[in-house]
Amino acid sequence: MKTIYCEKVPRIIKNKKKLEEELNIKIKNRGKEVTIEGGPEDEYITEKVIDALNFGFPFSIALSIKKEDNLFEIINIKDHTKRKDLKRIRARIIGKKGKALGTLHQLTKCHFELKDNFVGIIGDPEFIENAQEAIISIIKGSKHGNVYGNLERRQVKPIIDLGLKE
């Protein structure tokens, strides 16, 4: 049994049945505390999914953590810069009308979300490292074109499925 403190409880309550079916767990809530009951692996994955929902990811993308064996990572902007104008750094990450985030999504095949001074990334384990490096480069002040060029050069080759993965 695991208890998680959650800001966006209504989102979880609204999708409670679907979460319970997909993740093989029982969810109970009391105020802003969400209690999870199930197997250890299911509890861990559910905790990641609830963290992603709490971070602001759409429901379908948060569930991809379970369905597609994706990872959920959070980058703290303050860990990678000494600048005080964090609003400008967030604007650099988003880009004009969301263009920078859209390009990063296409090049890394990962989903991005910004919340306060944190960047959330959900993606395949093979792609998530490149996505993290790209975001950190933009935070540190690299030009967007250079970051995109590096991502294109370091594209992960698709893995041929030999029938070993379920």
Question: Considering Cα of 147, then 113, then 130, then 161, what sign does the dihedral take?
Answer: negative
Distance, in Å, from the CA atom of 115 to the CA atom of 137, rounded to the nearest integer, reads 18
* CATH 3.30.1370.10 domain residues, the chain: 2-67, 71-153
| CATH pick for 2-67 out of 3.90.226.10, 3.30.1370.10, 3.30.930.10, 2.40.340.10 | 3.30.1370.10
Neighbours of 110 (CB within 10 A): 23
- Retrieve residue 159's tokens: 């893995």
Mean pLDDT, rounded, for 140-152 = 94
For residue 15, what pLDDT is reported? 87
Give the chain's mean pLDDT.
Answer: 90
Distances (CA, A) of 134 to 12, 41, 142, 144: 31, 30, 9, 9
Mean pLDDT, rounded, for 131-149 = 95
Q: What is the pLDDT of residues 101-127, one digit of tens each?
A: 999 999 999 999 999 899 999 999 889
- DSSP letter, residue 155: P
For residue 67, what pLDDT is reported? 84
| CATH pick for 71-153 out of 3.30.1370.10, 3.50.50.60, 3.40.50.300, 3.40.50.10380 | 3.30.1370.10
Q: Which of 156, 71, 159 is nearest to 108 (CA)?
A: 156
Which residues are CB-contacts of 54 (< 8 A; sequence separation ≥ 6)?
Answer: 6, 7, 8, 11
Total count of residues recorded for the chain: 166
Q: What is the pLDDT of residues 28-76, one digit of tens each?
A: 988 888 899 988 898 899 999 999 999 999 999 999 998 888 999 999 9
Would the pLDDT of 144 be above 70? yes
For residue 165, what pLDDT is reported? 61
